[in-house]
Amino acid sequence: MSAADETPDLGWDDVDKTPEETTDAVAVDAAGSPSARRAAPTSPQAKALAHQIRNNAANRMLKWSGKPERPANSNHFPPLQIAIDRLIRQGVDVPAEQRHGGYPYCIMAAFVCYAAAGSSSAIRQIEHSNAAYTVQVLEDAREKRNGLSITTKPVRGDIVLFDFPDGAEVDHAGIVLDISDRIICTIECNTSPGRGVTTQGCWRRTRPRGVAKAFVRLKA
């Protein structure tokens, strides 16, 4: 394996930045703490910023599309690890048990992409140890904790929680790219591309809307 394979680039350099973002997405103030923990903007500003962050988070995960786990099917996804390490360097207090791979990471990947896009809600969810557990995310969204809420009008960039037949209450998660009454087009981590291919990693998927348990929206 080459050095490039071992430490792949995040592929985020050309993701469109919003005016609120710095080069590394999560701005750090003079005291060294992420300034993404900022006061909520006014309503029009908040809506515009949330829209920008949703799109930016989706674009960030799209940059990982087609990348596999290493070793294969191990729950170790190098791009996510690099992104987590970057957040830690920026002052985000990622819980110790989630700093390294080896656990199902579908929902953690979504929150890391959101945090890198500048979402203070995602940072709070990560720091409260609630970003790696789909059932906990569903509960937090229902209770409107950490800036999460359930939306019945999902759009690009919202997080979708899946409930597959004969599975747990919440089995999997991804980020919505497009949606209709019948299908959901997503970008997902900790999944395979389908069609008989079992290589786990980050892939675009198209699923029936009926397997969506809920759609989660994050405030800026």
The answer to whether residue 87 sits within a structural domain is yes
The predicted structure's pLDDT at residue 33? 42
**pLDDT per residue as tens digits for the range 95-143:** 999 999 999 999 999 999 999 999 999 999 999 988 999 999 999 999 9
The answer to whether residue 4 sits within a structural domain is no
The predicted structure's pLDDT at residue 61? 98
Q: Which helix (H) or strand (E) holds 218?
A: strand 212-218
Owning domain of residue 161: 18-34+41-218
The predicted structure's pLDDT at residue 41? 54
The answer to whether residue 5 sits within a structural domain is no
Strand order in the sheet with 172-179: 148-150, 212-218, 159-162, 172-179, 183-191, 201-208
**pLDDT per residue as tens digits for the range 1-46:** 333 344 445 667 666 444 333 333 343 333 334 544 455 556 888 8
Which runs of E-coded beta strand occur in 4-158?
148-150
The predicted structure's pLDDT at residue 220? 83
**pLDDT per residue as tens digits for the range 161-200:** 999 998 788 999 999 999 999 999 999 999 999 988 999 9
The answer to whether residue 98 sits within a structural domain is yes
Half-sphere exposure of 12 (CA within 13 A, CB side): 23
Dmax (CA) for the chain in angstroms is: 51
The answer to whether residue 11 sits within a structural domain is no
The answer to whether residue 13 sits within a structural domain is no
The answer to whether residue 12 sits within a structural domain is no
Domain tally, the chain: 1
The predicted structure's pLDDT at residue 128? 92
**pLDDT per residue as tens digits for the range 49-107:** 999 999 999 999 999 999 999 999 999 999 999 999 999 999 999 999 999 999 999 99
The predicted structure's pLDDT at residue 9? 57
The answer to whether residue 107 sits within a structural domain is yes
